[in-house]
Amino acid sequence: MKNSSNTVIPISTIGRARPAVAVPEVAVPATGVLLDRLGRPMTDLRISVTDRCNFRCSYCMPKDVFDKDYKYLPHSALLSFEEMTRLARLFAAHGVRKIRLTGGEPLLRKNIEGLIEQLAGIRSPSGEPLALTLTTNGSLLARKAAGLRAAGLQRVTVSLDSLDDAVFRHMNDVDFPVADVLAGIDAALAAGLGPIKVNMVVKRGTNEQEILPMARYFRTHHGGKVVLRFIEYMDVGATNGWRMDEVLPSADVIARIHAEFPLVPLEAATPGETAQRWAYADGSGEIGVISSVTQAFCHDCSRARLSTEGKLYLCLFASAGHDLRPLLRGTASDDDIASAIGHIWQGRADRYSELRALRGPDNDSGDAGGKAPRRVEMSYIGG
C-alpha cells in the first residue's frame, strides 16, 4: 500500500500496534480449555505460514496494492517451523483440536511438508492427534498432494471461484488456468486427502453465473467426495474496495440451486462450524454456504489466528494482533507463553460480523463512531 508520499508501507505494519505481549502477573494455567468473554472455547488454530501468494484475487490481494513494489515480510521475521510447532503444542494444551495451515498461499512456503510432520506429532492432553488441514488455491496441489499426505496432512480445502476458464483467469488476475486446479483436486483425492472442500467466493456481477455450473460439476464428479461451499464476499482487510451491492446473499445461492436440485438442511457437523450445510435431496452429496455478511456466526466462533510472524489475531476482521514472537525468541518458558495465550483469549470479545449486521454494512464507523481502525489483510492472517 502506498501512502501520500508514495512510500510503500508493508501491510503487516498497518493497524493499531499493540504493546509487546507480557507474561501475565497472575498466571493462567498452562493447560485446560479456555473460554473467552462470550463463553466461546478456543478449538481451532489457523496458522498463516506465508504472506505471499501467486494469485492476485481482487477480493483478497488486489494487484494494484500487492504490486511489484510491495514489501513482503523478510524471512528472518517469519516464525520457524520449530517456533510454530512450539506454539501449536501450547494451543493444543489449551483445547485446540484442529489446525488449519493458510497464507497467502501456504504451498509456496519451502518444505512445508517438514512443518506438517512436526505438527502431526502433537497430541491433545488426552493423547488424541489433532485434525490437520490446509487451505490452498490449488495451483501447486497436483505436484505436492502425495508429499503432503505422506507428511501427515489429513484434508485440504481448495479455493476455486469458477469453472469457466476466462472468468477464473480474470478473478485470479494472473491468468492461471482452471484445469490445473481441477488436476490438483484429482491428485489430492488420489493421495487420500479427501473428502475435499471447495470454496467459491461469490461476487455479484463477477461470477454468480458460475454457481449452477459449479454445483452441476461437483455433483457429478468425484462421487460426492467434494463438498462445494459458497462464501459471501466479505469486507476483509482494507484494500478490496468492498461494497454491499456486490454481495450475493447465501439465501439467493440456495434458492438458485434448490430450483434445479432440491436441497434439505443438515445439522452442523461440529460446533463452531462456519458453513451451513445442505444435502441434495436425491442423496448425491452436500453443499455449504458461509454467510459472514447476512447471517453472522460469531456466537460460537472458536477460531484463533496466528500470523506468519507470530501475531495472535482473535478475529478475521481484527485491526491488531498480539505479538508472541518476543516471548518465543526471549527467555519465556512454555508455561509463561501458555499463560499469555490464555490471558489474551480470556479477554476476547470480538464479534465483528454481528456488529456489522447491527450497525449496517455501509456504516463502517469505529468503536467510538470515529474512523474505524484499519482491518488486517486476509492474505496476511489467512481466511
Q: Determine if residue 237 is left, alpha or beta; phi over 0 gives left, psi from -120 to 50 gives alpha, anything else beta.
A: left
Can you tell me whether residue 158 is helix, strand or coil? Answer: strand
Query: 101 or 141, CB closer to ligand SF4?
Result: 101
Q: What residue has cell string 432440491?
A: 262
Shortest Å distance, C-beta 116 to ligand SF4: 24
Query: 130 or 304, CB closer to ligand SF4?
Result: 304
Query: 185 or 316, CB closer to ligand SF4?
Result: 316
User: Under 8 Å CB-to-CB from 271, ≥6 apart: which residues?
Assistant: 43, 300, 302
Can you tell me whether residue 117 is helix, strand or coil? Answer: helix
CA pair distance 237, 1, nearest whole angstrom? 12
User: What is the residue type of 180?
Assistant: D
Query: 178 or 231, CB closer to ligand SF4?
Result: 231
Shortest Å distance, C-beta 33 to ligand SF4: 18
Binding site for ligand SF4 (CB under 6 A): 292, 297-298, 301, 303, 315-317, 350-353
Which residues face 357 on adjacent strands? none
CA pair distance 53, 26, nearest whole angstrom? 41
Task: Compute the Cα dihedral for 138, 142, 144, 147 and give only its sign.
Answer: positive
Query: 178 or 318, CB closer to ligand SF4?
Result: 318
Shortest Å distance, C-beta 60 to ligand SF4: 15
Shortest Å distance, C-beta 39 to ligand SF4: 13
Shortest Å distance, C-beta 365 to ligand SF4: 17
Query: 44 or 323, CB closer to ligand SF4?
Result: 44
CA triple 225-162-135, angle to 5 deg: 55
Shortest Å distance, C-beta 46 to ligand SF4: 10
Shortest Å distance, C-beta 352 to ligand SF4: 4
CA pair distance 151, 40, nearest whole angstrom? 32
Q: Decide the pairing of beta strands 322-323 and 311-313.
A: antiparallel
| Other residues' Cβ atoms within 10 Å of the Cβ of residue 304 | 24
Query: 172 or 307, CB closer to ligand SF4?
Result: 307
Can you tell me whether residue 47 is helix, strand or coil? Answer: strand
